[in-house]
Structure 1
């Protein structure tokens, strides 16, 4: 697709948001960023011109902009990964049951060196891209990774086509559990935010990823069918750091890699989705001119009572997978959420490519201990079993360079 067509799609997307009354300043900024990217690369060489040009670039779109058939194709491919056998040896992760689990495992293993770090944005960019490539190469998916546009639905996530519980959604809320109290966030030791119960709390009950549990009135063979990922969704690993009540079933192993089969739970939270409002995300992009401040505000200023859009997006989903930053990819909504994180980062970069295309800040070990300063030559790895090679942070800095060739509309 030629970039002129991409730009037309960007403008149409923004116009569409206006026509249905959705807030769209972030979309306007993304469209402006795309214009500036085109202008920049009309005067400067592309990072990987032999592989990616502005004529063959892939386009990632909002879930709401996909046709129902496109959504079904994506859902089918995600479930396909959950049916393929894991490549991670049982000696490393006894709970590994699928190719999807291979992805969850590497996030669990690296959780404390990919959050609050210099590689956070680029590692998750590469991770989301690797997921997209697995869908395409192993499960026949023809499209590209969609994103969930937080700001369009921040006032009511369950009204979105992404969380409405239909057969073309990524499933809806969990079953409502009453009489719950708030929980301390990010931890009981650092209780900066009282996270109130959301509107669910239990197993997801609608849509393609609903509860996998058996039903007593069914035969053994029928129950076995319910337990397959083709008819539902099962979480096999974790939890490790879930911020939720009731607490999820503990993993039999301290490292969270033991076999712990259970339903996907969610607890959709308006308190958290407020952190992803269009005005909040637009201010993040416009008001933070350094990568240090951009990352800080995006990641949350907990001591000031702010989750930030990244964590706010996770806690909007809630549940043991949505609010457990270590095991969070176990919820397939993770990847559309992180595609939106990447879109925001991509937009911020594009608005001033000259100074931001390789901007880096932060350490090499996060969560309270920054360690040594990160560099552009630091290696990003997804481990041995996901199936993609290592890259450097420098190679992952541009979505039209390194292993990548995509833009957002």
Structure 2
């Protein structure tokens, strides 16, 4: 091959490998979706709930279950540790990609602007029985009985148990007050990664989980309620809003521990069949670094923390639209 042709080919391959993200996925607030957009997202989630599992993960029977399994299998390695926010950013991206590639969803992952509903989740439009996620639970097991997900059977959970059960909710508006704007503002005002991460993981993180209650209150199996993804997308937006205040510093700022305490507040004890975390691939010690590998258990490629620090990079390629 002539030298000029080789040079052109090398340049072309280099440009392709470093191609910038051009058209970013636009993540919007749920309350800004019209009814057609809401139904499109709901139907895509129902599609994942109907597709059979393909990865052989324990007790998972549907593709929806397999995303829940990522969380269940790694709960003690992904909460109260430096990888908390990066891990959830990675799982959200994998989930969004599955909705689009496996269920023909043409939109993007929405977020629940929870501060609008803080202290009054019970009246939120997100619990609409037609254009939302169904309402509060009822009966002895707090099963949801309205909305598109009322008849879904969770196969994973509660917690580390794997027994068939309903999606349950127990809305608590004392807890939902933790999603208030003042809590968000407090986190955005933090000047270090450790302070911001700990703030977000406490409140507003706890406000959404505790406010919805029941399944969402379970730190291990909470992705069994599809609201999990809208809640954590909102938290991801808060982290991004914090990063955007000083991108030069905060797009590479990471630290914390890799190993959570054996007894995490609000989490059930780790059973013997779940090994004690000892670090992560690429990051074997107890200090979280950018080399830390985020394990998706086959639900899309594994990512390093470095891969997910910038939401506008070639891998993630999305942005948040302010409501």
TM normalised by structure 2 equals: 0.84
Post-superposition shift, 1:368? 5.3
For the 8 Å contact 1:328–1:334, the answer to whether it is kept is yes
Cα contact 1:395–1:402 (8 A) shared by 2: no
- Give the conservation status (yes or no) of the 8 Å contact 1:63–1:161: no
Structure 2 partner of 1:406:
318
Q: Does 1:314 align with 2:209?
A: yes
Are 1:363 and 1:372, in contact at CA under 8 Å, matched by a contact in 2? yes
Kindly indicate whether residue 155 of structure 2 is the aligned counterpart of residue 236 of structure 1.
Answer: yes
Report the secondary structure of 2:286's partner residue: coil
In the other structure, the counterpart of 2:191 is 289
- Structure 1 residues without counterparts, runs of 5 or longer: 1-47, 178-200, 211-231, 241-254, 301-307
Whether the aligned pair in 2 keeps the contact of 1:60 and 1:406 (CA below 8 Å) is yes
- The corresponding residue for 2:276 is none
Choose the corresponding residue for 2:249, options 349, 352, 355.
Answer: 355
Instruction: Report the counterpart of residue 123 of structure 1 in structure 2.
Output: 87
* 1:342 aligned residue: 236
How is 1:2-401 mapped onto 2 (pairs within 5 angstroms)?
A: 50-53=19-22, 56-89=23-56, 92-93=57-58, 95-163=59-127, 165-175=128-138, 202-210=142-150, 232-240=151-159, 255-256=160-161, 258=162, 260-286=163-189, 288-300=190-202, 308-319=203-214, 321-367=215-261, 372-384=286-298, 386=299, 388-401=300-313
Q: Distance in 2 between matches of 1:151 and 1:106?
A: 28
- DSSP-derived class of the 1:270 partner: coil
Structure 2's unaligned 5+ residue stretches are 1-16, 264-278, 280-284
Partner of 2:4: none
TM-score of the superposed pair, with normalisation by structure 1: 0.67
Q: Deviation at 1:176?
A: 6.1
For 2:154 and 2:41, the matched residues in 1 are separated by 19
CA distance in 1, matches of 2:38, 2:153: 20
Q: CA deviation at 1:315?
A: 0.9
Structure 1 residue 123: Cα displacement: 0.8
Secondary structure, aligned partner of 2:239: helix
Distance 1:141 1:334, change over 3 A: same
Change (3 A) 1:59 1:208: same
Cα RMSD after superposing both structures: 1.7
Q: Counterparts of 1:361 and 1:109 in 2: how far apart (Å)?
A: 23
* Distance (whole Å) between structure 2 residues aligned to residue 312 and residue 153 of structure 1: 11
